[in-house]
Amino acid sequence: MKLLPLFFFAATAAWQIGPFQRPEAAQPVIKPDPSHAWEALHTFNPAAIVRDGKVYVLYRAEDNSGEMKIGLHTSRLGLAESTDGIHFTRRSEPVLSPGDDSEHDREWPGGCEDPRIVEAPDGTYVLTYTQWNRKRTDVGVATSRDLIHWTKHGPIFARDASYKSAGIVTRLDHGRLIAAKINGKYWMYWGEITVRLATSDDLIHWTPIEAPVLEKRPGHFDSSFPEVGPPPVLTDRGIVVLYNGRSAETHSYSVGEALFSAGDPSHLIDRTENAVFQPELPWEKTGQYTAGTTFAEGLVFFQDRWFLYYGCADSFVGVAVTPLVFVHGPRHPL
């Protein structure tokens, strides 16, 4: 994997994770597979985790049923693994699907969408994902010991209104991002339009805090709204939240970063003025979502680099990587 010289990058604040760069001659790392009906149309919006020296990506896959419109196909979650973070081998069957279970009415016919994943301190994997029945959205939570067999626990909140996008705060521990307790509780940033907080004692049952902590900014890349990205990371400078900002002018989605206090996750310390990663390549700007997206949902620390996995125009999965020099230098946020 070849990276461009460092002078290609804009300056970053000392607290930021990054900068992120596409691999040379970048192409989508996961594309639709017409030989599998469940992932024949689109593959995008990935979660990511490191396990046993490999990167595992759970990605949203849309089948070719329904109308040819956004949100009107059925989504399932596929699983792919990689030894280098770039080249993936995937399973032929989905690992999480809408089915004849307790969540059927929340997940059918829209499906299971847009995952984020963390590892619990006991090694259990905790997945948050969007439940979509084509009437409303909820955030569902599921757990697994092997990334293949999942137990659904239902929605994280009992709310009348639609809500989605939830990232649980993590800390870096020997190369793995583990769910972190702050002031004796686990914390989650959640929501689109307005980002809010929630707390939990067990990573399954959550109590929402309704006060907004991140909102849109006129004239910026997030002028339409912000939406939670990958699981945030607790660092020695604070909680780094990578988020997806939608532009009111172009309707495209780009990635921004925000820093919150480690002692008070509701206190915003700093926020990037400009996007840190945005649609540039043709397959990031043309696809199902024609305005273009680099919609980040997966973040891992692997082989001394940060790998950011993102959805491209609601059609593919892409990856961007940090240079090695930033890992051990003064800008490394951990």
**Is 171 exposed, middle or buried, given 0-12, 13-18 or 19+ CB atoms closer than 10 A?**
middle
Mean pLDDT over all residues of the chain?
93
Write down all domains in the chain, each with its CATH number in brackets: 37-323 (2.115.10.20)
Q: For residue range 39-85, what is the model confidence (pLDDT) as tens digits?
A: 999 999 999 999 999 999 999 999 998 888 888 999 999 999 999 99
pLDDT value of position 286: 87
In angstroms, the CA 295 to CA 305 distance is 20
Q: Is 326 helix (H, G, I), strand (E, B) or coil?
A: helix
Q: Which helix (H) or strand (E) holds 284?
A: helix 282-285
Q: What is the pTM of this model?
A: 0.94
pLDDT value of position 280: 97
In angstroms, the CA 245 to CA 240 distance is 15
| Mean pLDDT within 283-293 | 94
pLDDT value of position 43: 98
- Measured in whole angstroms, how far is the alpha carbon of residue 308 from the centre of its chain? 9
Q: Which helix (H) or strand (E) holds 138?
A: strand 137-144
Beta bridge partners of 160: none
CA-based nearest residue to 16, from 263, 273, 221, 228: 273
φ/ψ region of 200 (left if φ > 0, alpha if ψ in -120 to 50, else beta) reads: beta
Q: What pLDDT band is residue 330 in, cutting at 50, 70 and 90? A: very low
Token couple for 213: 């902590």
In angstroms, the CA 196 to CA 190 distance is 5
pLDDT value of position 253: 98
Residue located via tokens 């990605």: 59
pLDDT value of position 66: 85
φ/ψ region of 328 (left if φ > 0, alpha if ψ in -120 to 50, else beta) reads: alpha
Q: Is 282 helix (H, G, I), strand (E, B) or coil?
A: helix
How many degrees, rounded to 5, is the angle at CA 12 between CA 296 and CA 197? Answer: 45
Q: For residue range 84-98, what is the model confidence (pLDDT) as tens digits?
A: 999 999 999 999 999
**Is 2 exposed, middle or buried, given 0-12, 13-18 or 19+ CB atoms closer than 10 A?**
exposed
pLDDT value of position 67: 86
Contact of 310 with 294, CB cutoff 8 Å: yes
In angstroms, the CA 53 to CA 56 distance is 10
In angstroms, the CA 154 to CA 270 distance is 34
- Half-sphere CA count of 105, side-chain side, radius 13 A: 2
Q: What pLDDT band is residue 10 in, cutting at 50, 70 and 90? A: very low
In angstroms, the CA 141 to CA 324 distance is 34
Cis peptide before 109 (omega within 30 of 0): yes
Q: What pLDDT band is residue 155 in, cutting at 50, 70 and 90? A: very high
**Span between the terminal Cα atoms of the chain, in Å:** 24
Q: What pLDDT band is residue 159 in, cutting at 50, 70 and 90? A: confident
Q: What percent of the chain has pLDDT over 70?
A: 94
Contact of 200 with 185, CB cutoff 8 Å: yes
Q: Is 115 helix (H, G, I), strand (E, B) or coil?
A: strand
pLDDT value of position 334: 53
Q: For residue range 217-265, what is the model confidence (pLDDT) as tens digits?
A: 999 999 999 999 999 999 999 999 999 999 999 999 999 999 999 999 9
pLDDT value of position 160: 86
